[in-house]
Structure formats: C-alpha cells, structure tokens
Amino acid sequence: MPRFLTGLVDDAAVFPPGSASLPDALAAHVRHRASWYADLVGPLLVPASALPDLARLLDASEGNSAARLDVGVIGDVPLDRLGEAHAAADPRLRVRQVEAAVARRGEDPLPGLAELTALAAGHPDLDVYAEIPLAWGLLNALDVLAERRRAGTRIAAKFRTGGLAAELFPTPGELAAVVCACRDRELPFKLTAGLHHATRHLDPETGFTHHGFVNVLAAVRAAAEGAGVKAVAEVLTRTDPRPLLQQVEPGRDETRPLWVGFGSCSVQEPLTDLIRLGLVDGGGLR
C-alpha cells in the first residue's frame, strides 16, 4: 500500500447508507484487517451507545483476531457523556479516536466545541475530532481548534461531504475554502460521507453530485503547495482522473498533508477504484 493511502478509509459500515448490522460489520472488519489491503483501512467506527453490544460480540469471538479491536467512537450521546462511554469501554476495545458533532447547521459551534475540547484535554491518549458545520461560525471554530492544538490538545476538525440530503454536499468552492483554511492554520481534518468513489460523479439513484476522494487527495496536495481557494476548487470539480493522477502520483511515498482520512460505509468501493486507477496493485485479489 503506498504510504499516501495508509489509513485513508475508516470502516463506517454500520452507518448510512450501508447500515450494516453490528455483527456483520465486525465480521467484515476482521476480514479487512487480515487482508492484503489492511494498511488502507483505519479503525471500525461505532456509535458510542453500541460499545457494550460490541463487547458482547467479542465475547462470542474469543480466540480469534477480533479479540483485540481498534475502534473509533462516534458521539450519538450528549457530549458530557462521551467521556463516560470511553471510560466504560471494554479493555479489549482500543478506542483510538472520538468524533462528535459540536453543533447543528446554523447553531454557534463554540459551546459544543468547548465541551469537546475539555474531553480531549482530559483524555490525552485519544485523537478527538470536532465535526463542524460548513456554515456560520466555522472560521471562529477553526481558530479555537488551532489554538487548542498548538497548546498540545489532540483535537482536530471533521467536515461532512455528503449524506442523505442535498444540502449536506458542500460545493467545490466551500470545500476548497475549508481545505485552505485548515492549511493556513496547520490544522488536520477528517471528512465523512459521500466519498465512496475516486472522482467527482453524479449518483444516478439520488441525483446528488459526489466529491471524489482522489480529487480531495489532489486538492490537499495543491493546497499544501500554496494553491489558493480558486485553484483548489478547480481540482475538486474535475471528473477526468488523468490530471488528478498526475498530481497525486509524485506524493505516493509521502504522508498526506493534513487530511487524516475519511469514513466510508464501504471499504471495497474505494479499494476497487484505487485498483482500477492503478494507485494500488490489485495482485492481492488473485
């Protein structure tokens, strides 16, 4: 696995639109972790409220590779209870990260961000991601995150790039502005939703135009090299993979600049596209 793809795809199988059952998601994740493409895959993402159920599934799988499991916890409980969920997690669950929305669209993100920052400060072993709406208050929230990170708190940003409604898909200009804002603040970020495929495309079933994860790879590389919002947005609009591949190929042996990765309810779909584009050697499939 090229270095710039390591840990790119967190396994969000239990979340929409895939919505796999927890037992099915666990079984598939164990297979991913044992596969030739394991380095592509990050932790299994589960709701905080599902941690006890996941521990019970581990009880039924003692003696196999599921007995120790890296997980990322998605906050579906109030922010002040996230710390309790982490503390009560089964010791066989290695909680690597906690992710939570700090506000709804149109709300001030700063109060929720203050709560999540306190959680991060109290759990220095965790990577904490604050999901911030691409709306009013965004830049102030990024300033606060950057300040807390410079002070040593392991907290970073998370943005939604899709979902079950059209308004959850940012325009190329909006996403480019966020990428450049994080670049300017040296602030790592995650993305979630809508990034199943490599290049920008129209989903014929929903009518939504999705961002491509290789577009994002090329965009963050362009931003790291000093490109402005307009140039980064242009990269995000491309549907032809060839110029995107020319941009990302030189960085194959480097770590991704600032972009931590993205959650996807499918691991196979991104993997298939990477093989099709020649970014990953698919020989392991034979």
Q: In terms of Cα–Cα distance, which of 95, 1, 96 is closest to 40? A: 1
Q: State how far the Cα of 147 lies from the Cα of 151, in Å rounded to an integer.
A: 6
> What is 3-277's CATH number?
3.20.20.70
Supply the angle between the helices 79-87 and 110-122 in degrees, to the nearest 10. Answer: 20
CA separation for the pair 72, 97 (Å, rounded): 5
pLDDT digits (tens, 9 = 90+) for 190-239: 999 999 899 999 999 889 999 999 999 999 999 999 999 999 999 999 99
Question: Quick one: 252 exposed, middle or buried, by C-beta within 10 A (0-12, 13-18, 19+)?
Answer: exposed
Judge whether residue 63 has pLDDT over 50: no
| Whether residue 286 has pLDDT greater than 50 | no
Backbone angles phi, psi at 191, to 5 degrees: -125, 160
The reported pTM is 0.93
Q: What is the pLDDT of residue 92?
A: 86
Answer yes or no: are the C-beta atoms of 214 and 158 closer than 8 Å: no
280, pLDDT greater than 80 = yes
Please write the tens of the pLDDT for every residue from 78-105. 887 887 777 767 888 889 999 999 999 8
Identify whether the C-beta of residue 128 lies closer than 8 Å to the C-beta of residue 98.
yes
